[in-house]
Structure 1
Amino acid sequence: MSFLEDLELNFAECIQDGGKATLGVRQREEMDTTHCMKQNEIISQAVCALLNSGGGVVRVEIENGDYNFERDGVGLNLPPLFRNHLDEMLYGKLFLIYVSSWDVAASHVRLATLCSNLYHRCGTFTEVMDPEKALKFLKRVQDPRILGDSDSLNLQEAPVDDAQMILASDLFHSPQLQYLEKLNFTKSSHVEFQMFSADLSQGIRERLPKCVSALANSEGGYVFFGVHDETRHVIGCEKEKINCTNLKSTIDACIRKMPVYHFCGQNHKVQYELKFLEVYDKEALHGYVCAIKVERFCCAAFAKAPDSWEIKDNNKKPLTANDWASRMIEINPDLSSFPQMIPWKSMLNTTPCSKTVFTHKYLKCVEDLQKDYFPGNCCFWPLWNRLTVSIFRGRKALI
């Protein structure tokens, strides 16, 4: 029998493979950053999937043979909210992480999530919403009457800076710009400046979804690629290095790929308008600024699918944006079509897999049923005694 087979026979829980990993605080600090992050990502996803699926064990094969748990520590960078649900132990050459089910009441959200990938504008910055803020945002979009704290994500309480938006609109409709021209407005909650990266298409794919998600989830706004975010100087991308047609296709595919969640019954994606503004150095065409106008989105726009997982058919599977959002805001189902059914016990604040228990409004308890079928002062004990004696005599005769 192999070591892994012996492990699976000895532990009844769902076991997920966390792959191979170097353990130890110092050892992981000395690792290649990309390799270290990849190991941590695989283990974090397995833990997240078990948290959302009733718990289990993550099995990690230790790469460094001289590892000592007491001396070296662990060194894994797991989300703080996850740690209260974990226990760890060595099992031969394996490191086992015992995962309990996600505690909805303690965490205030229904799903364990590594990253919501829902963005918003915080002043002049683009920031990702943590799961609790994402839940508040979803509830507020679902029902604008819901009020939150003064510092929460209320779509109605952040007025659009009209002066900034007018200046940004003027720039968006400019026939041409001058190289190193300094703009007369700054970044704001509705205006974002970005420089082009060396790899134009890759830089767009990495950064644009976050900017678009943040603006769409607010009041809309503008993203200008090719403007220095600190000096406000127009730089653009040199005409020899940019193919506007290809970049337009990349941007369109990038935005169309962004997942969205609708409460309103619609199915459209984020609406935007794209322009390439010519940048001149004196009289000669120098290059282009890529200007994107993002419309406010009616519901919730994700940069990409949330980083949240579950176990399906004994394998970890990512949740889609639709599944994640609907489960995060899950409430008791509408039973208006079944007036005879009533909630008996709500389980929504226990674990992600729990559902509310319903019962029939007119369902009678055992005592009431006994009175209906055996009215009067009927006593069951004499009947029970006669049946018992009869059964005993029958067994004795058989023997």
Structure 2
Amino acid sequence: MNDIRPAVIRGRGRPLAALSTPREAIRQFTPNWFAATMGTGILALVLGQLPLSAPWLKTVGEALWLFNMGLFVLFSAMYASRWVLFFHEARQVFGHSTVSMFFGTIPMGLATIINGLFLYGLPRWGESVISLAQALWWIDVAMALACGVLIPFMMFTRQKHRIDQMTAVWLLPVVAAEVAAASGGLLAPHLTDASEQFTVLIASYVLWAYSVPVALSILVILLLRMALHKLPHESMAASSWLSLGPIGTGALGMLVLGSDAPAIFASQGLPGVGEIAQGMGLLVGILFWGLGLWWMALALLITLRYFKAGIPFNLGWWGFIFPLGVYAISTLKLGAVLHMAFFNAMGVVLVMMLVVMWGIVAGRTLAGAYRGHLFVSPCIASLGTMNAPSCRSGLT
């Protein structure tokens, strides 16, 4: 990063001052940027589900959701352009031990847009959005399934990893499937055909099982890694929050799937199974919420320790946002199902934290994108030397 700082200082008021040409932004574009669509999307969804009689919150949430759609389209166009214009450099991502993990952020970012179609699109545009949501969901499922197995396969065959360099970013390609599972739980009750409802519901349970046990096994290894080798480098500080993601999404997925399971299973002549699924969904949701509480408390302590020492801003800071957001939604969902004021109050507190954190991270991201110094691809640096610091740090 030292070679671009003088450019930033000399051209602080000029857009993309840190880059030699605007085209360089495409050349340096990485999947890390899609983490911003995850964070913005989850905040949009949370604002539309708060148990507060404030219509303006939903208006703000819808505006954020629409903005997030534009952001996702922009990022998709830029990343597709990189593959067309700079194919040789773009393909290096598959061998990078950190940046490759961020492929999982693409389907997870898309999932927040799909979920927004039910919350915001349905009241605005009517039932026509359901067919669009269904088509996008199957695309999201395909991407999540591919990320969940192909990235680990490349970890085992092409990439170099060490236990002392492991971080929670290992979770990103795996968790995409359980995010798709939660989206499937939202989609199923909106479908008119009973067989399609059943197919989506069963597929969603499979996606949950495809992801959650693997994610929990990664968390076990992560605990051992931190006990033996202590905290990761400060450039990976936000990764401590990523552990909350699969736990919060796992809880939310079981709660959402279980809520409509009785009616869907009953339509297939399996009413008893549906009642079991509903009860199991609630119990698993509560248990996972408790596990998430432990991880959140730990992440807060770790973050305070990092901030006392000072940490540099990078795109990895978006790792603070989505995990906290999905945990907040699962908290609000428990409050609605259990009719307990504690969960509602806790959910509101979490959302307040989320808004503050999103404001800080979004503001610094906009400033960094405007100046251009956030457009740095470790994969390009790795072409020159496989031992470059930017290759090791991963979160640009």
Task: Give the TM interval when normalised to the shorter protein.
Answer: under 0.3
Select the structure that is richer in strand. 1
TM-score, normalization by structure 2: 0.23
Select the structure that is richer in helix. 2
Which structure would you say has the larger Rg?
1
TM-score, normalization by structure 1: 0.23
